[in-house]
Amino acid sequence: MIYFCQVKTKKFFANIYKKLNMKNIIVFSIFKKIVIFLILISISSCGNNESQKKEKFQYKRTKTEQSTQSKSDPSSSKKEIAIIINSDDFSMKFDKKEIIAFSGQKITLTLNHTGKLDKLVMGHNFVLLKKGVNSNEFGIKASSEKENEYIPDGGNQVIVHTKLIGGGESDTITFDAPEKGTYEFICSFPGHYMSMKGKLIIK
């Protein structure tokens, strides 16, 4: 009788052990599947990130290309070109650093001040300097010429300039493109010449 009981108990435990083992195998295989699934997800999301990065880069590139084009229309076939330059209260910069035009073209240039500050505080102008005029020296000299809207020497060193404008104002000037070469333009309001400057390239 005791022997019979022992055999039964042994069988009972052997069965439980088998079941547990089976369970372990099932749990392990599920765990394996979950891990593989997670790895696949992380790989695919990495790919997405890269494609998103690429998309962003492409978007930036198109934006730069557009802004380069909007600097000016470099078409030499046009007799007249229109250029718009914007300035504001904070950046102390023109929104264009380079303007391209062709000798003989008639240039209509509009300077906008998109800010709100008065011209006594944050005045801007567009001053196109003659060839060979040093913009730093000109800027320093100009800063003490308030009564002449910061244009020194009666405009001797200047090809053309707009009037001084404040927030919300604009001024438009028309002039013939000078001979081929590179010309500097600045804002001659005190202190602005250091950062508010750019180049007019005549081809």
Distance CA(198)–CA(196), nearest Å, equals 7
Say which DSSP state 162 is in: P
Stretch 121-160 residues interacting with Cu ion (CB under 5 A): 124
Hey, what are 28's tokens?
């392990």
Say which DSSP state 165 is in: B
Q: Does 197 bind Cu ion (CB under 5 A)?
A: no
Strands (E), the chain: 80-87, 98-101, 106-113, 127-129, 158-161, 170-176, 181-186, 197-202
Hey, what are 156's tokens?
């001797």
> Among 62-70, 77-85, 95-103, 195-203, which window interacts with Cu ion (CB under 5 A)?
195-203
Using the minimum distance from each CB to Cu ion, give the nearer residue, 94 or 102. Answer: 94
Q: How many residues bind Cu ion (CB under 5 A)?
A: 5
Q: Does 111 bind Cu ion (CB under 5 A)?
A: no
Q: Does 193 bind Cu ion (CB under 5 A)?
A: no
Per-residue binder mask for Cu ion (CB under 5 A), 171-190, x = binder: ----------------x-x-
| Residues within the interface to Cu ion (CB under 5 A) | 124, 187, 189, 192, 196
